[in-house]
Amino acid sequence: MKCEIIPERCIACGLCQTIAPEIFDYTDEGLVLFVGEPGATHEFVPEAQQAVVIESAKRCPSHAILYQDSL
């Protein structure tokens, strides 16, 4: 699965980091970023973490997290 974050949409509510702390973190300004690749806006998600990424995307109030299932 591929995940995309759109920091411009992020409202720093904290849900994604609460749901998936191994995947998501925040900048000093409170904008979402990837834990392993802070400068990236796209990341491939390990199978073991896919459920929490989907949950994070579904619960994000500003739609700052998108995902695409692998074909």
Q: Where are the domains of the chain?
A: 1-70
| Alpha carbons 41 and 33: distance in angstroms, whole number | 7
Confidence (pLDDT) at 69: 84
Confidence (pLDDT) at 30: 87
pLDDT at 70 over 80: no
CATH class of 1-70: alpha beta
Give 12-55 pLDDT, tens digit per residue: 999 999 999 999 999 988 899 999 899 999 999 999 999 999 99
For residues 64-70, average pLDDT: 90
> Phi then psi for 35, rounded to 5 degrees?
-60, -50
pTM to 2 decimal places: 0.90
